Amino acid sequence: MKDALAEQLLAKVMGWDAPQVATELAVLQDLARYKYDEYQQFTPGQQFIESLALWLRQFKPDERKTAYEFIRMRLTFCSAAEMRHLVGAAFPSTIRPRILQLAAAQAQLPAHKVKAIAQTQEYKLLLRQTLFLGLSDGARTDAFRRANPSISNEQIWHAYDYSEAKGADLGRKLTKDLKTLLGREPTASEGKFRLICLLDDFTASGRTYLRRSQDGTSFEGKVATIFDRLRKPDSSLAPFLISDQLDVLIVIYVAAAQAVTHLEAELPNLAGANDSVALRVVHRLPEELQLRPGVDDGILALATSDTYFDPQANTEATAVGGNDARLGFADGRLPFVLSHNTPNNSIYLLWAEPWHNVRGLFPRVSRHRNFR
């Protein structure tokens, strides 16, 4: 749709007069150029203002102002450029301090002497003895590595479910690089990964990473899976890990307050007696971003209405969150969009998928779909 036609449709849908058109379209055009047009799940040729006009048209005339004000005042969009910045900042802001802390203890140096610590053999060894694993394709391990040239390509893998062959390969290359750093063959205790960093781009609830099983006796989720794999005594990576002690750093580029609270409460229960497990978030979304009764009653009324919800949005995957998807997975109630896809923790009205009978403003493409 041509820009002019999309703008005319939007003005007609909203019933704006000429002064309102001039004021509102100027703002929307800036928002579209600055961020919203880059949304990767728009259909070819479609842009934000067209999507907004068609999205608003599905509401009753007296509801459109509420929906529009929600977009203007509450929507938060993380652009590709912003995410690249957070990926680049992850190592110096959250990971390097942990390596420096460990190296300072080994070298018996005061923690505040950062430059001196970074020049020690202990730091150089620990840097190479750190293994980086992606928790999803959103981990952007390629961009992470390029932003941090001190990290070797041989110590980073894009997925936590590495194969046995890859596990063995990571271990062999660790031994090879340690031999170069030490000038000799590493001892059995030296030839180990000391720190495991798990990387991902976004979490809103934390439940995909870690949740209690239905009977409450064990844990499920990506982090629980990787812990099980790292603890397997017969795996190909086992000879290159300290068997009774895992030091794991979970690094998320963007996280909602709900996820941080959940993970910080549950991670200690997953860790063994000698394990160290910590969560680090590069950018934490503020608690007040979540839509709240008394503040966001208008949009919450639309989001919970049967008129603007398609039951096929409820899948086995969303059921893990314990409620239907109207207000988002695990009652996320977020007005949040990532440039590559809208998280299902945001309200359904934002991310309704292309085949649903409700239109989403930033349609989501899910990993999981019910076939009917």
Nearest to 155 by CA among 136, 140, 177, 139: 177
Domain shared by 258 and 316, yes or no: no
d(Cα 208, Cα 222) in Å, to the nearest integer? 7
Q: How far is CA 163 from the centre of its chain?
A: 23
pLDDT over 70, % of the chain: 98
CA 51 to chain centre: 25
CA distance 205 to 255: 8
Average pLDDT, the chain: 93
Number of domains in the chain: 2
Closest alpha carbon to 195 in 115, 277, 270, 120: 277
Q: Looking at the domain assignment, is residue 366 inside a domain?
A: no
pLDDT tens per residue, range 103-154: 999 999 999 999 999 999 999 999 999 999 999 988 999 999 999 999 999 9
Q: What pLDDT is recorded for position 316?
A: 82
Give the mean model confidence (pLDDT) for residues 282-302. Answer: 97
pLDDT, residue 368, reads 56
User: Residue 345: what are its φ and ψ, rounded to 5°?
Assistant: -80, -15
CA distance to 37, 198, 214, 312, per residue, from 358 (Å) = 21, 36, 32, 11
Q: What percent of the chain has pLDDT over 90?
A: 84
**pLDDT of 262 higher than 80:** yes
- Per-residue model confidence as pLDDT tens digits over 4-59: 888 889 999 999 998 999 899 999 999 999 999 999 999 888 899 999 999 999 99
Check residue 370 and give its pLDDT: 56
With cut-offs at 50, 70 and 90, classify the pLDDT of residue 367: low
Question: In terms of domains, do 273 and 338 share one?
Answer: no
**Residues near 316 by beta carbon (within 8 Å), at least 6 away in sequence:** 368, 370
State whether 283 and 298 are in the same domain.
no
Q: What local confidence, expressed as pLDDT, does residue 369 receive?
A: 54
Cβ burial 75-114 (10 Å sphere, 16+ → b, else e): bebbbeebbeebbbebbeebbbebbbebbbeebebeeeee
Residue-wise pLDDT for 169-217, tens only, equals 999 999 999 999 999 999 999 999 999 999 999 999 999 999 998 888 8
Q: pLDDT digit string (tens) for 80-100?
A: 999 999 999 999 999 999 999
Say yes or no: 70 and 106 in one domain. no
Backbone angles phi, psi at 68, to 5 degrees: -65, -45
Higher pLDDT, 318 or 330: 330
Evaluate whether residue 368 is within a structural domain. no
Q: Are 167 and 237 in contact (CB under 8 A)?
A: yes
Please report the pLDDT score of residue 207 as a whole number: 93
Confidence of residue 223 (pLDDT cuts 50, 70, 90): very high
Judge whether 213 lies within some domain.
yes
Q: Which residue has the tokens 């795996």?
A: 235
- pLDDT at position 216: 80
The token pair that represents 331 in the structure block = 């009652």
CB atoms within 10 A of CB 253: 27
User: Do residue 343 and residue 247 come from a single domain?
Assistant: no
Residue 38: partners with Cβ closer than 8 Å, 6 or more residues away? 79, 80, 339
Element (H, E) at 114: helix 114-118
| Residue 12 covered by a domain | yes
Are 20 and 140 within one domain?
no
Residue type at 220?
E
Stretch 303-328: mean pLDDT = 89
Residues in the chain: 372
Angle between helices 257-270 and 222-231 (to 10 degrees): 30
Flag whether 345 is in a domain.
yes
Range of the domain at 121: 80-287
> Do 282 and 295 lie in a common domain?
no
